Amino acid sequence: MAVIELSEKKAQRSADCRDWTARDAVAACLRDIDNGTINPDKLVVCYREKIGNDEVEYSYYAAGTTNIELCGLLTIQLRRVSE
């Protein structure tokens, strides 16, 4: 049985993305993959990291996708988030 952090439970209850930690979001995704709830054939994880007082860095991890497909995945999710 997987351990679910209290912060993840709070985020699920509130349905507010700001209540998730980056680690909890990734852990939830991995748990869903491991228990067969989801079976993604393509995956994109984007992140922003503070690297200084006023500096940030943006990057991503991607699996099973080309750059064009990656753009399509992001575009579809942007539309869904904005609905």
DSSP-derived 3-state class of residue 57:
strand
One domain for residues 47 and 35: no
Instruction: Express each pLDDT in 2-24 by its tens digit.
Output: 666 777 777 778 878 888 889 88
One domain for residues 47 and 14: no
One domain for residues 82 and 47: yes
Residue percentage of the chain with pLDDT more than 70 = 95
pLDDT at 1 over 80: no
Compute the C-alpha angle 5/9/75, nearest 5°.
Answer: 100
Average per-residue pLDDT in the chain?
A: 89
Q: 9, 21 in Cβ contact below 8 A?
A: no
Domain boundaries, position 17: 1-39
Domain total of the chain: 2
One domain for residues 9 and 47: no
